[in-house]
Amino acid sequence: MQHLLLAFTLIISVSATAQKAVFIIADGIPADVLENNNLPTLKSIAAAGTYTRAFVGGEKGSYSESPTISAVGYNSLLTGTWVNKHNVPDNAIRTPNYSYPTIFRLMKEQLPAKKTAIFSTWTDNRTKLVEGDPTMGAGSIVIHADGFELDTLHFPHDKNSDYISKIDDTVSTAAALSIRTDAPDLSWVYLEYTDDMGHRYGDSREQQDALFKLDNQVKKIWEAIQYRQKKFREEWLIIITTDHGRDAKSGKHHGGQSDRERSTWIICNQPFNTYAERFTPGIVDITPTLIHYFNISMHLPQLYEADGISLLGKTSVAAPHAFFYQGKIDVSWKRIDTTGKVFIYISPTNEFAKGKEDVYTRKAEATAKTLSCTLDVTDMPSGMYKIVIEGKYNTVNYWVYTEEQKKK
Ligand SMILES: [Zn+2]
């Protein structure tokens, strides 16, 4: 029997398919611009899986409202949280709150043997957002191709940003080659030229040309992935998205909360789940998707801060909301898979943001049909509460500021 078991284990381990993933951020492409251009590679990837509209910017007018600015969006993707948590409100990336782990740190902590890679037209993405976290440190992303924008000898800066287009070419070529030869388990590719053309020309022929260049760059990466899938026992997930839209008037600007600036898109080579069909996904949903794909988990205190929901697999709850009135908090949510109960937890502190832990109290439980509850919090006076709604397959959270300390 033992021999049989051993043989069985061997077969399992030999035939196990390696899971690999690549996510690409193409900078500053509003959903309508993407949809109005017939981009062959992006179209073919979407045809194999999913195209969906998505959003950035957090909840408009609420505590999680986030500027529609590049690095804000990247860090929302990486940490699965909005700016009120990750604390990167602009491109200066001065003081990210590393209490909220990036997908790269979760990979390093839980799957240390996995190879991670960053191919980027902007070096800060690796050095500040990912390796700036002291639990990561310089050199923790072993495979990388970046720093070209600092190399003015080989990429002399010109007024038309042609050098950025050349860097995007170099970066995407490096990514494709690395995928073919090293097959990193998790790769982040960042390409910038589409945003430069948007800033310079707005909605224009030049922006369209930049989109077709982007499509060709993604093609190299997609072909490398298809090569790996044919030649090796590997499953590849590719997710392509953008970090923000642009203003409706000229298409030159972004940063605000208009519909077009908040409106983005996600393309994936795998079909998304019921949650993604019923709700508009956010950029914060991508890290939970990768967590699901790699079958890793967050520690409970980290999970209680996650603002996103996986776009793959089963999910239980979404669309959390809560408000405070006269010593009570009214909590509501939506159900997706209705299996199992829902538990409501509350914490009157935010120690997590300081690298410590909060104490949560279970205040209520609900069955499949219940979509709201009222919590009496007169016994725990506070200026701010964190509410966690925990379902069988996922957990969502919402913060409440009481009237005295109301925060935008
Ligand atoms: Zn951007």
Note the pLDDT tens digit of each residue in 81-117: 999 999 999 999 999 999 999 999 999 999 999 999 9
Do residues 17 and 235 lie in contact, with contact meaning Cβ atoms separated by under 8 Å?
A: yes
Query: Is the per-residue pLDDT at 260 higher than 90?
Result: yes
300-343: per-residue pLDDT in tens? 999 999 999 999 999 999 999 999 999 999 999 999 999 999 99
Instruction: State the greatest distance between any 2 C-alpha atoms of the chain, in Å, as a whole number.
Output: 72
CA of 70 to the centre of ligand 1 (A): 3
Residue with tokens 């790769």: 187
Q: For residue 37, what are its two tokens?
A: 């251009």
CA of 344 to the centre of ligand 1 (A): 36
How many CB atoms sit inside 10 A of residue 241's CB?
23
The neighbourhood of ligand 1, an ion, using CB within 5 A, equals: 27-28, 70, 195, 243
Q: What's the distance, Cα to Cα, between the start and end of the chain in Å?
A: 64
Q: How confident is the model at residue 404, as a pLDDT?
A: 60
Range scoring the smallest mean pLDDT among 211-220, 341-350, 366-375: 366-375
CA of 170 to the centre of ligand 1 (A): 19
Q: How confident is the model at residue 169, as a pLDDT?
A: 98
Q: How confident is the model at residue 56, as a pLDDT?
A: 98
CA of 46 to the centre of ligand 1 (A): 22
Q: For residue 354, what are its two tokens?
A: 């300081």
Q: How confident is the model at residue 307, as a pLDDT?
A: 98
CA of 69 to the centre of ligand 1 (A): 6
Helix crossing, 193-201 with 205-231: angle to 10°? 170
| 340-371 core/surface letters (b: 16 or more CB in 10 A; e: else) | eebbbbbbbbbebeeeeebebeebbebeeeee
CA of 220 to the centre of ligand 1 (A): 22
Choose between 97 and 1: higher pLDDT: 97
- What is the DSSP code (8-state) at residue 165? H
Q: How confident is the model at residue 16, as a pLDDT?
A: 81
CA of 210 to the centre of ligand 1 (A): 14
CA of 193 to the centre of ligand 1 (A): 10
Query: Is the per-residue pLDDT at 286 higher than 90?
Result: yes
Structural element, H or E, at residue 395: strand 395-401
CA of 36 to the centre of ligand 1 (A): 20
Query: Is the per-residue pLDDT at 408 higher than 50?
Result: no
CA of 301 to the centre of ligand 1 (A): 30
CA of 286 to the centre of ligand 1 (A): 17
CA of 247 to the centre of ligand 1 (A): 13
Do residues 211 and 165 lie in contact, with contact meaning Cβ atoms separated by under 8 Å?
A: no
Mean pLDDT of 45-68: 98
CA of 232 to the centre of ligand 1 (A): 35
DSSP E strand stretches across 157-302: 186-191, 234-241, 263-268
Q: How confident is the model at residue 406, as a pLDDT?
A: 54
What share of the chain has pLDDT > 70, as a percent?
95
Mean pLDDT of 151-170: 97
Question: How many angstroms separate the CA atoms of 394 and 392, rounded?
Answer: 6
Sheet hosting strand 328-335, strand order edge to edge: 317-325, 328-335, 372-376
Radius of gyration of the chain (CA): 22
